[in-house]
């Protein structure tokens, strides 16, 4: 009986060690598989996260493009209006005559000269410098200048000076008039 026990113990130990070894190999194998799966899942999650960021950027760009398109359509509507408001270069040929008419209507002695021309960029307005002197009474000069402000031209004055010369006044001014050049 002692021998049977000894054989039983040896057989039990062998089976136990065999089962334990197989179990350890299975656990180690499953551990390695889990590590590779975890690594693969992390890699895929990072990839999905990057794709989501890319989609968010593309959506933002699409929204910006849509907004720009709407703004461009609005701007195009106003471009034709602006074209009617700001004269082209040929429209400035009439400026001297219109100023002389206003000067005559307001009893002024007027001298008006165009200066240097500054071309605008592709979609920008250009300008032409001018100098102007006028002599008359102060009331006539103010009336003349009010009439000039109501003209269809856009002026930017860089110098505006009124001086008294006896009973009369002298207006000296320099600036630029804007046009589509």
For residues 147 and 108, membership in a common domain is answered with: yes
CA-CA distances (angstroms) from residue 126 to 19, 117, 148? 94, 8, 20
For residues 73 and 31, membership in a common domain is answered with: yes
27 pLDDT more than 80: yes
Name the nearest CA neighbour of 164 among 153, 172, 173, 152.
172
What total of structural domains would you count in the chain?
A: 2
The residue from 85, 102, 119 where one domain ends is 85
5 pLDDT more than 90: no
- And the tokens for 47? 């990839």
For residues 93 and 175, membership in a common domain is answered with: yes
For residues 39 and 80, membership in a common domain is answered with: yes
DSSP 111-180: EEEEEEEE---TTS-EEEEEEEEEEE-HHHHHHHHHHHHTSSS-EEEEEEEEEEETTEEEEEEEEEEEEB
pLDDT of residue 131: 93
Average pLDDT along the chain: 85
Confidence of residue 72 (pLDDT cuts 50, 70, 90): confident
pLDDT tens-digit series, residues 83-135? 667 777 777 788 888 999 999 998 999 999 988 988 877 767 888 999 999 99
For residues 94 and 175, membership in a common domain is answered with: yes
69 pLDDT more than 90: no
pLDDT of residue 50: 94
For residues 26 and 72, membership in a common domain is answered with: yes
Q: Say how many residues make up the chain.
A: 181
- Provide mean pLDDT across the span 135-149: 89
The residue from 54, 85, 116 where one domain ends is 85
13 pLDDT more than 90: no
Q: What is the pTM of this model?
A: 0.53
The residue from 47, 62, 85 where one domain ends is 85
For residues 22 and 93, membership in a common domain is answered with: no
Enclosing domain of residue 111: 89-179
CATH of the domain at 94: 3.30.70.60
């Amino acid at each position: 009986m002692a021998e049977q026990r000894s054989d039983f113990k040896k057989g039990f130990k062998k089976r136990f060690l065999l089962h334990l070894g197989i179990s350890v190999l299975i656990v180690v194998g499953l551990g390695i598989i889990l590590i590779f799966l975890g690594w693969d899942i992390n890699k895929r999650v990072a990839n999905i996260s990057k794709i989501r960021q890319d989609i968010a950027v593309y959506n933002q760009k699409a929204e910006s493009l849509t907004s720009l398109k709407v703004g461009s359509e609005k701007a195009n509507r106003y471009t034709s209006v602006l074209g009617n408001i700001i004269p082209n270069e040929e429209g400035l040929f009439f400026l001297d005559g219109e100023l002389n008419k206003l000067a005559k209507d307001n009893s002024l002695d007027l001298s008006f000269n165009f200066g240097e021309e500054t071309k605008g960029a592709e979609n920008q307005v250009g300008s032409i410098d001018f100098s102007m002197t006028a002599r008359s009474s102060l009331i006539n000069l103010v009336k003349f200048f009010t009439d000039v402000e109501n003209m269809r031209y856009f002026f930017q004055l860089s110098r505006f000076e009124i001086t008294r010369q006896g009973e009369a006044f002298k207006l000296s001014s320099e600036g630029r008039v804007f046009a589509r050049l």
